[in-house]
Structure 1
Amino acid sequence: MTTVSAPRIEHHREPFGIGESRPRLSWTLSDAPEGWHQARYAVTVIRPGAEETFEVASAEQVLVPWPSRPLGSRERVGVRVAVQGADGVWSAAGPETRVETGLLRAEDWTARPVGADLDEDPESDARRATLVRRGFRVDGEVADARLYASAHGLCEAEVNGRRVGSDTLSPGWTVYRSRLRYYTYDVTDLLAEGENAIGAWLGDGWYRGRLGWRGGTRNIFGSNLSFLGQLEITYTDGRRQTVASDATWRATLSPILRSGIYDGEDYDARREIPDWSTGSFDDSGWLPVSVRARDPRTLVAPTGPPVRITEEVSPVAVLTSPSGARILDFGQNLVGRIRIRVSGPSGATVSLRTAEVLQDGELYTRPLRSARSTDHYTLAGRPEGEEWEPRFTFHGFRYAEVSGWPGDLDADAATGALTARVLHTDLERTGWFACSDPLVEQLHRNVVWGMRGNFVDIPTDCPQRDERVGWTGDIQVFGPTAATLFDVAGMLTGWLRDVEAEQLSDGTVPWFVPVIPTHKVWSPIRPGAAWGDVATLLPWTLYRRFGDAGVLDAQFDSARRWVDKVESVAGADRVWDEGFQLGDWLDPAAPPQDPGAGRTDRHLVATAYFARSARAVADMAGVLGLDAEAAHYGSLADEVTAAFRAAYVRPDGTMTSDAQTAYALAIVFDLLPDEKHRATAGARLAALVRGAGNRIATGFVGTPLVCDALTLTGHADTAYDLLLERECPSWLYQVVQGATTVWERWDALRPDGTVNPGTMTSFNHYALGAVADWLHRSVAGLAPAEPGYRRIRFAPRPGGGLTRASARQRTPYGEAAISWELHGDELAVDVVVPVGTTAELDLPGAAVEQLGHGAHTRSVRLPL
């Protein structure tokens, strides 16, 4: 009998406090007999005292429309699904999913931002963090209670001395003037009859802290720290009580002396205020709060999960440097912060200084630039010991230099007194890969760790130095890999709303989102290929991987306006050959201090992306049923493609820029006139790769495409040679050098153990790890053939001496999987096709086979 999962609500892992009044529903099916197909579904919506069932004749099971009346603010419903097969037999109803909305209307908000009014230098990094609180009385039995909370800055709320929620760095980083995220918390169990209190820690975060390189800028979004909180209590007798942040709240300085995203946190435990967030506390000595402004129309519920602590890592070694410094090695370049458990005298201060690498045995901090990346904890001297972890900062590090430790550091580290706490947006893992080569498996692990460390509320470029911003080009090229490894649909859909909010009225897309002031090279905002194309290509990626046409609808105007802008810049000849471009950024041939000066003509790159984005907008319009727009942008794409060929493709099929990235773009973006030119381009690309000794000769633009371009043109053997090369520059060079994340530069660490002298030398950048998507699609052989994996393509291409490979993908329809092994010239393949999908199996030397759901095993002899 076919069984149905509990329905998924939009892209939420936890459909609690959601912002959609008509959320779409998805479910997976299992245990269906061979040949079974869904013909109808029935959605039951359970409201208090009422239950409605809606039957729909449809085979759809992913993001189907909400069938009932719209949900209101604070509404709670249950949802379950049953399905009927073509045989007319209904399944049993699946498990129920509980759904709760947040505050959907601006008029639902009575809370206002409140905070301390301190006489401080707004340009100082030493501004004190603050606490705010309010006492209140509960005078009956509580049925339930919800806290809706946000902040100017970062906040952590407490009720009666207990932490609210498990998220951190909330409310995250959005384009604050347009969108300030709030979170919903169930605080029912934290209340008690009688005197109660609510309070919040506040920190600078991205809102008013220092951001940007070359000294950075403070107060970009505002100079105040404020808490916005609305506690709503429902009693068992039906009464409602609201405790909202307003002028009745009180404020004071917190034990956090200094806190910054780049610089770390200084905390003095002697200044702690016992029981400050409990109902028994007397706050008469605290300051009255100032009430600040916030348009409630800008408050938005999250579309993806929050940042959380997801893992703990213990030190693998305690080192002593040549200078005598004590350094913890956590064995993994990670993003997070260190929790300490320590005993010592009052006033003793422990310092934790972090970095990604050592040089000459010492902590090497030059790549951090001006980021202090140091935490200080001053002990209160409690006999029972103390535990502390920073609240409002994070670091990218493998190593931590510890000074001022009052105990035996070696023994204490071995017993868990110093633990790295890994944080990132709490995304659901969806893609796994394995193979017979341990170095390739380590490369894949490095990509995963790099993505985790750079998905900290927004997709960032790096997590350690004085930057950490949402570079649009990085996620544009890495989007397919991100969407393979994790369910990024909700998070990136929200971030794309910020992209549109920052997009200029003329259609220009910034280099990074949210926008911050930077030095003159990056300001004012101006159009740039590959980076601005995030407006077109990332929505298309999300549609292809998650089957969500809604993201196309939401972003179509933004995408269209970007292409219109490029059209106006390129002019009538359709060749984008003017203006500043980053080109094939960080091509290893580029000078260390001029990373855009690679081998490939920057304007070839720009025109290729113009053609690709115009085609993407035409495709988006086609999905949305916008026939006129589909025709217009399709014609534009044809014109740009023709212009690209005329300007950059020679009659013999070679390129005017005889560089790997030029050929990869022309092949993968389908810009060549015919198969003859395509074959010539593929052969020349393969020759260039071999001529470079199979070492990397591409940057951010070419690297995600080069293995695909080789594979598409019949040179998979050369793609494997490129993948498996160990000399610098190469993917496996980094692995052999001990990398545990993907580097920004191919030679970030040089063969002699010294760090690249360039001022941009991050050891945790995900862009060049985009090859992982090729590992899944071509090495293991699992790819979407239709949006959302409604149809799956299994097409492994063994090579490189690998004897086995496998991939698993948690698709919107359920888990798909492939594993293959070579036994001499015999290829044995096992695949799993989820219910609700079909698949094509394309094995070397065999006819393409169509598969239905279920497990399938095949064996073929490889052609000689």
Structure 2
Amino acid sequence: MAFPPSRPVVEHHREPFGIGEARPRISWTISAPPWWRQAGYELEIVRGSEIRTHVVRSAEQILLPWPEEPLASRERATIRVRVEGADGSRSEWSPPTEVEAGLLDPADWSARPVGGAWPEDPDSDDRRPALVRRAFDVSGEIVSARVYASAHGLYELEINGARVGDDALSPGWTVYPKRLRYYTYDVTALLRGGENVIGGWLGDGWYRGRLGWRGGFRNLFGPDLSLIAQLEIHYADGRTQTVATDADWLAATGPIVRTGNYDGEDYDARDERAGWSSAGYDPVGWTPVAVRQRDPATLVAPTGPPVRCTEEITPVAVLATPSGKRVLDFGQNLVGRLRIRVRGERGAKVVIRTAEVLQDGELYQRPLRDARSTDSYVLAGRPEGEEWEPRFTFHGFRYAEIEGPDDLDAIARVYHSDLERTGWFSCSDPLLERLHENVVWSMRGNFVDIPTDCPQRDERVGWTGDLQVFAPTAAFLHDVTGMLSSWLRDVAAEQLPDGTVPWYVPVIPAHEMWTPIRPGAAWGDVATLTPWALYERTGDTGLLEAQYESARAWVDLVDRLAGDDHLWNTGFQLGDWLDPSAPPDDPAAGMTDKYLVATAYFAASSRAVARMAAVLGREEGVDRYGKLADAVAEAFCAAYVLPGGRMVSDSQTAYSLAIGFDLLPSAQARATAGARLAELVAAAGNRIATGFVGTPLVTDALSSTGELTTAYDLLLERECPSWLYPVTQGATTIWERWDSLLPDGRVNPGSMTSFNHYALGAVADWLHRVVAGLTPAAPGYREVRFAPRPGGGLTRAEARHRSPYGMVGISWELVDGELTVVTELPTGTTGVLDLDGEPSQPLGPGTHRHRVAVGLPAVP
């Protein structure tokens, strides 16, 4: 048996370096012949000079427990695995994975936050960020060197003039008072004998920069900018030298004049301090730092990847506007910033303004509201030219208006959390393929350390409802488990003692609609439905364990609010937010009763907690929340379903909730609801009539009740409002409103008009599961249901997903009434092929091809 398993995966880390798990779980994939089955495995773990092998009789290969004593802080281990088949065969050893722990104990930290000591106006836009530095000597043979770093604000490190790492916007945005993320860097190669220098750039970021809409707030987490850095050098003779941020560091202002997420960055290259992070530099004029306080117990290692530049895009056109401005069109609405190369006189200035759209041929920034979204660069006048990119800001844009010298070119650099791509979809309809690509781009642009609502205007916060509806789609497209595990911990950290889940996490103040925090359906249900969705896609019971108390507390709160009749029919609700029938100035005023929405979600969350309890073996939870879910469903039907089967709110969303959350008492009631939903869709001319709540459910509600043709009619409609209307208007991301751009080419006048919101792109999950036909039938795709449902004139579709067990895929093609389906399953999984009108067929690992005659007309 020659084939080895894959390189082991540690927890959900792409790079298990500086991790915070002392007992990390281990996974691997296997590419074996279809007949082969794992019966056992050997884990070889090398720790220092000791090699231990653990032999286990088990067919499991995902998230297996650490078999030894916990890792110590800084400890490094090498892991290999080999597997044994049921036939007694044994594989070769896998390639090794090296894992290294970060600082696991608060006592490991000696670093303290340091920053500029000069007085600042805390309310000013023009607080100039500090540079901080420390010189130190190196003497002896270095075995390894690590920097552990975080900040109040954002940071970038340099050692001896070289950038440390390639992450951006670190340490990201967490609930800073309780959880401040740090990153670990291997800097062994950057050190040399004699004098060395470590330095840090600082920026406002989320910590003290302007946050929130309608002017926003500053200094929400503190007024200071401070670096926390601990360099540890390990020598061959056993010594360890620690250079930590403390009173011996120096600070000075640098060339960044001001910087912020919303407003952009201003940089004056004339104020650069050449060589400031290199040996031999004379720090004349630098002052001792201010040393601040931080509880080291709040410092946490990352569970997901950092933000990085993942792509560079060149302009597809250079436009001259009617007013004579120069505008670069990048052909794609993206999130990131520009890197410019420019040559000009000293003191000349480049100004870059960004926006998602043009109107009347000019850059149109009104949808950005109070976000300035402008970067500027003052030239030093170097004859060879200058290159610059902002460090501590990001913009959502397709277009960039540039003022400055003629000798200038620019590229757009795309930034987001560097998540591994795991899901793909294609089909015979180019508009549907573009719709799916728009979903991918909106996810990339809004997964910038946290899952945000939009990346461009004065908002960019972690709306819980947006993520709740989009989580299944996200978990298919990218490996989001590590990132969202961190964010869900922040959700729990921000949850009020009574169980209330905030509208957005981390919490910031806002106007009276959002402050003080009040419970709201669909948004608060992120605490229950998102952990369950991630469990279904990954099989990670540890995630359920971590979030169970948060989920239970949310349902218990709603139970108290609903009372003995089990109807959540009081209090503030957003309902089916952005239902297209709602007026632009009141997006919550949709056609579906808000309390119908709230009670439906109450039932769904109760059921989710019961399922979580069953997985975790908490029998009291299975009983309590299962009975509660049944009672709420019964109350829902009594209050909102009329005797003839119609609903009190005769709307697409009402029927979609009742069907999608399985609230109806019988198969006949489901069929009746599905038929009425189809009638409503047809009566609307196949135009969408759902908002954030109904949109993820409506196509499933139709297809699951025998109304597949209507589901496709709805999906493929091109008139506004519809999924394909924005595509026909040239959209390259998902819009916030169905009509963010009106049919006459004008931008919607509403104050909430973003061209990059992923929530309405949740339909991509239906594309994957129903159009292509790929669905997990057991947690983590250990069992897969292949159930394509062709329609809408499509002649082919394909979906592929890199599951925890390996690549799962399906493709189908319809030619002259014959459907050909090709499926792919990795070792360790099973599947079932479910074709409409055909007996189900069990599938094992490998590639399988099936042909059946179907009753669909041939498509030329």
TM-score band, normalised by shorter chain: over 0.9
How does 1:269-308 map onto structure 2 within 5 Å?
269-308=269-308
Give distance in 1, aligned partners of 2:628 and 2:839: 37
Q: CA deviation at 1:118?
A: 2.1
Which residue of structure 2 lines up, in the alignment, with residue 29 of structure 1? 30
Aligned pair count reads 855
| Distance in 1 (alpha carbons) for counterparts of 2:661 and 2:855 | 29
What is the rounded CA distance, in whole Å, between the counterparts of 2:505 and 2:27 in structure 1?
Answer: 30
User: What one-letter code is carried by the residue in structure 2 that aligns with 1:25?
Assistant: I
Alignment partners' CA distance in 1, 2:284 and 2:531: 53
State the Cα distance separating 1:100 from its structure 2 match: 0.4
Look up the match of 2:237.
Answer: 237
Residue deviations 1:157-189, cap 9 Å, x none? 000010000000000000000000000000001
Give the secondary structure class of the aligned counterpart of 2:565: coil
- What is the correspondence of 1:408-427 to structure 2 with a 5 Å cutoff? 408=407, 412=408, 417-427=409-419
Distance 1:143 1:3 in 2: 31
Q: Is the 8 A contact 1:153 1:203 kept in 2?
A: yes
Task: Tell me the secondary structure at the aligned position of residue 4 of structure 1.
Answer: coil
Give the residue type in structure 2 aligned to 1:272.
E
Match of 2:533 among 541, 562, 571: 541
Kindly state the Cα deviation for residue 48 of structure 1 after the two structures are TM-superposed.
Answer: 1.8
1-side partners of 2:690 and 2:206: how far apart?
Answer: 33
Match of 2:384 in 1: 384
Aligned to 2:488: 496
Counterparts of residues 216-235 of structure 1 (less than 5 Å): 216-235=216-235
Give secondary structure in 2 for the equivalent of 1:521.
Answer: coil
* Candidates 565, 583, 598, aligned match of 1:606: 598
Residue number in structure 2 paired with 1:795: 787
Map 1:453-532; keep pairs closer than 5 Å. 453-532=445-524
SS in structure 2 at match of 1:656: coil
Report % sequence identity. 70
CA distance in 1, matches of 2:585, 2:57: 61
Match of 2:15 in 1: 14
Q: Distance in 1 between matches of 2:754 and 2:18?
A: 37
Deviation at 1:37, TM superposition (A): 1.2
Q: State the AA in 2 paired with 1:832.
A: E
Q: Which moved more, 1:275-284 or 1:434-443?
A: 275-284
Q: 1:36 and 1:657 mapped to 2: Cα distance?
A: 54
Q: Secondary structure in 2 aligned to 1:690?
A: helix
CA distance in 2, matches of 1:832, 1:347: 61
Paired residue secondary structure (1:259): strand
Contact 2:40/2:59 (8 A) holds in 1: yes
Structure 2: runs of 5+ lacking an equivalent: none
The CA distance in 2 between the partners of 1:520 and 1:855, in whole Å, is 57
1:284 Cα shift? Answer: 4.1
Asked if 1:432 is matched to 2:431, the reply is no
Partner of 2:180: 180
The superposition leaves residues 638-670 of structure 1 with CA deviations (integer Å, 9 ceiling, x where unpaired) of: 111111011011122211110000000000100
Residue 72 of structure 2: aligned partner: 72
1:316 paired residue number: 316
What is the CA deviation profile of residues 816-858 of structure 1, one whole-angstrom value per residue up to 9, with x for unaligned ones?
1111100111000111011000000011221100000000000
Alignment partners' CA distance in 2, 1:646 and 1:58: 49
Aligned partner letter, 1:455: F
Q: Secondary structure at the match of 1:615?
A: helix
How far did residue 325 of structure 1 move? 0.9
Give the Cα separation in 2 of the matches to 1:52 and 1:619: 38
Which one of 618, 624, 629 corresponds to residue 637 of structure 1? 629
SS across alignment from 1:697: coil
* Residues 1:747 and 2:748 are matched in the alignment: no
Corresponding residue SS for 1:774 = helix
> How far is 1:49 from its partner?
1.2
Q: CA deviation at 1:283?
A: 1.8
Shift of 1:781: 0.5
What is the aligned partner in structure 1 of residue 562 from structure 2?
570
Residues in 1 aligned to 2:733 and 2:367: alpha-carbon distance in whole angstroms: 15
Q: Does the 8 A contact of 1:178 with 1:298 survive in 2? A: yes
2:155·2:227 contact (CA, 8 Å) conserved in 1? yes
User: Which residue identity lines up with residue 353 of structure 2 in the other structure?
Assistant: R
The equivalent position to 1:815 in structure 2, one of 794, 799, 807, is 807
TM (normalized to structure 1)? 0.98
Partner deviation per Cα, 1:379-438 (whole Å, 9 max, x = no partner): 00001110000000000000001112x125xxx5xxxx2000000000000000000000
Question: For 2:824 and 2:384, how far apart are their aligned partners in 1?
Answer: 55
**Preserved contact between residue 583 and residue 598 of structure 1 (Cα < 8 Å):** yes
Length-normalised TM-score, structure 2: 0.99
Give the conservation status (yes or no) of the 8 Å contact 2:34–2:827: no
For residues 821-860 of structure 1, the aligned pairs below 5 Å read: 821-860=813-852
Residue 100 of structure 1 is matched in structure 2 by 100
Q: Deviations over 1:456-496 (max 9, x none)?
A: 00000000000000000000000000001000000000000
- In the alignment, what sits opposite 2:718? 726
Please say if residues 587 and 595 of structure 1, whose CA atoms lie closer than 8 Å, have aligned partners that are also in contact.
Answer: yes
Amino acid in structure 2 at the alignment position of 1:407 = D
Counterpart of 2:265 in structure 1 is 265
Letter of the aligned partner of 1:498 in structure 2? D
SS in 2 for 1:137: strand
Question: How far did 1:35 drift?
Answer: 2.5
Q: 4+ runs of 1 displaced by more than 4 Å?
A: none
Specify the alignment match of 2:357 in structure 1: 357
Cα-to-partner distance string for 1:718-769 (whole Å, 9 max, x where unaligned): 1111111000001110000000000000000011110000000000000000
SS at match of 1:77: strand
* Deviating more after overlay: 2-11 vs 129-138: 2-11
SS of the residue corresponding to residue 783 of structure 1 reads strand
Residue 649 of structure 1 aligns with which residue? Answer: 641
In the other structure, the counterpart of 1:199 is: 199
Please report how far the alpha carbon of residue 691 of structure 1 lies from its aligned counterpart in structure 2 after TM superposition: 0.6
CA contact (8 A) 1:845 1:863 kept: no
Matched residue of 1:520: which SS? coil
Distance 2:800 2:33 in 1: 22
Kept in 2: contact 1:136–1:279 (CA 8 A): no
Question: CA offsets per residue over residues 318-367 of structure 1, 9 Å max, x none?
Answer: 10111111110000000000000111000000000000000000000000
Q: Secondary structure at the match of 1:418?
A: strand
Counterpart residue number, 2:406? 407
What is the SS of the residue equivalent to 1:345?
coil
Local SS of the residue matching 1:571? helix
AA matched with 1:183: Y
Q: Distance in 2 between matches of 1:651 and 1:61?
A: 51
Q: Which amino acid aligns with 2:406?
A: G
Separation (CA, whole Å) in 2 of partners of 1:521 and 1:77 = 51
> Cα offset for 1:611?
0.3
Secondary structure of 1:29's match?
A: coil
One-letter amino acid of the counterpart of residue 756, structure 2: N
| Partner SS state of residue 735, structure 1 | helix
Amino acid of the residue matched to residue 507 of structure 1?
Answer: G
User: Residues of 2 paired with 1:834 and 1:674: CA distance?
Assistant: 37
Kept after mapping to 2: 8 A contact 1:652/1:677: no
Code of the residue aligned with 2:24 in structure 1: it is: P
Is 1:91 aligned to 2:91, yes or no?
yes
Q: CA deviation at 1:33?
A: 2.6
**2-side partners of 1:268 and 1:36: how far apart?**
64
Matched, 1:698 2:697: no
Alpha carbons 2:688, 2:714 under 8 Å: kept: yes
The letter for the 1-side match of 2:664 is L
Cα distance in 2 for partners of 1:542, 1:33 equals 29
**Aligned counterparts of 2:387 and 2:528: Cα–Cα separation in 1:** 47
For residues 632 and 76 of structure 2, the distance between their equivalents in structure 1, rounded to whole angstroms, comes to 51
User: Are residue 757 (structure 1) and residue 749 (structure 2) matched?
Assistant: yes
Could you tell me which residue of structure 1 aligns to residue 51 of structure 2? 51
Aligned residue for 1:149? 149
Q: What is the distance in 1 between the residues matched to 2:476 and 2:677?
A: 27
Instruction: Give the whole-Å Cα distance in 2 for the aligned partners of 1:220 and 1:471.
Output: 18
CA distance in structure 1 between the aligned counterparts of 2:284 and 2:268, rounded to whole angstroms: 23
